[in-house]
Amino acid sequence: MTFSIAARSGDAWGVAVASKFVCVGSVVPEVRLGYGAVATQSFVRFPYRSEILDALAEGTSAQAALDATVAADDGRESRQLGVVGADGAATYTGGDCMDWAGGVARGDGDEAYAIQGNILVGQQVGEEMERAFLATAGQSLDRRLLAALVAGDAAGGDARGRQSAALLVRSPGAGYEACGILADVSVDDHPDAVTELTRVHEIATLVLGRPEDVRPLEGGLYEEVSGHLRRLGYEGSDVEASLAEWAGVVNLENRLVPGSIDSRVLDELRRP
């Protein structure tokens, strides 16, 4: 009933998942920064997440942590699981998971992923997810995982339809107040959940992301920004103070850089 990808890229770890099941983000993913990412699905057993992450934190390999946890579970034939640890990735599909069901795990060290799904339209869902993840190498992990989810959805995804999707990514120093959350977005009930997840992620990235493509606030750009602020009702003679006041109202204060302006802040100012 679900397709997911757990992955590591450098110091970022995350999971993306979609399903014809409500609130999948509250069920499937868990990430522990520096140690691992887990996706548990198909008749979910919640303790899998903490058991595996605890084992990874103790230095157990991804495959060994998965094997030990699954072996101790009498319901394992109905379960599906993806794990990424410091050494690589592992995936498991029980024999009683409903067709199409399967997964793939590849990589080691700083770059690894586990892709798995059940009740899918076919194997092509996982294949397209893998292709998209590899094709986006060099981008941030949240965008790579989202690209994989979009590709799986476009390939048919869950054979029963669409309902919810989620993206959870952690990276040191990322997010609001450098809390380490690069992305934590869920769409709990929507007829086109992956598309909606993409939309919400863009908003979250705008508000919570770090400054990018920063340009000096001077010359013609200074005059342009001043004009936009006046149009929006911020008439102060100190343009930087007015910019800060406006940014605080629209929740873009995380993107302010003294003496400069972030490209996405400028895009927002330019909106009619």
Looking at residue 178, what is its pLDDT?
Answer: 86
Please give the structure tokens belonging to residue 76.
Answer: 């394992």
> Residue 252 is which amino acid?
L
Positive/negative CA dihedral, 19, 24, 27, 28: positive
Cα–Cα distances in angstroms (integers) from residue 161 to residues 20, 78, 127, 141, in the given order: 6, 21, 19, 26
Cα–Cα distances in angstroms (integers) from residue 229 to residues 210, 239, 241, in the given order: 22, 8, 11
Positive/negative CA dihedral, 211, 215, 221, 222: positive
Please give the structure tokens belonging to residue 12.
Answer: 């970022």
Residue segments in the chain with a per-residue pLDDT below the cut of 50? none
User: The tokens 């939309």 sit on which residue?
Assistant: 199
- Going by C-beta distance under 8 Å and a sequence separation of 6 or more, which residues neighbour residue 148? 5, 16, 115, 129, 130, 132, 133, 136
> Residue 123 is which amino acid?
Q
Cα 157 from Cα 149, distance rounded (Å):
9
Cα–Cα distances in angstroms (integers) from residue 116 to residues 19, 87, 163, 164, 204, in the given order: 12, 19, 18, 17, 26
Cα dihedral angle (24, 25, 27, 33), rounded to 10 degrees?
150
Looking at residue 272, what is its pLDDT?
Answer: 87
Give the homologous superfamily in CATH for domain 2-208: Aminohydrolase, N-terminal nucleophile (Ntn) domain (3.60.20.10)
Looking at residue 175, what is its pLDDT?
Answer: 86
Positive/negative CA dihedral, 118, 155, 153, 158: negative
User: The tokens 């409903």 sit on which residue?
Assistant: 98
Cα 45 from Cα 59, distance rounded (Å):
23
Q: 186-238: per-residue pLDDT in tens? A: 999 999 999 999 999 999 999 998 888 999 999 999 999 999 999 999 988 89
What residues does CATH 3.60.20.10 cover in the chain? 2-208
Cα 201 from Cα 217, distance rounded (Å):
28
> Residue 40 is which amino acid?
T
Angle at 54 between CA 49 and CA 59, to 5 degrees: 130
Looking at residue 196, what is its pLDDT?
Answer: 98
Sheet (strand 36-41) strand order: 29-32, 36-41, 80-85, 88-93
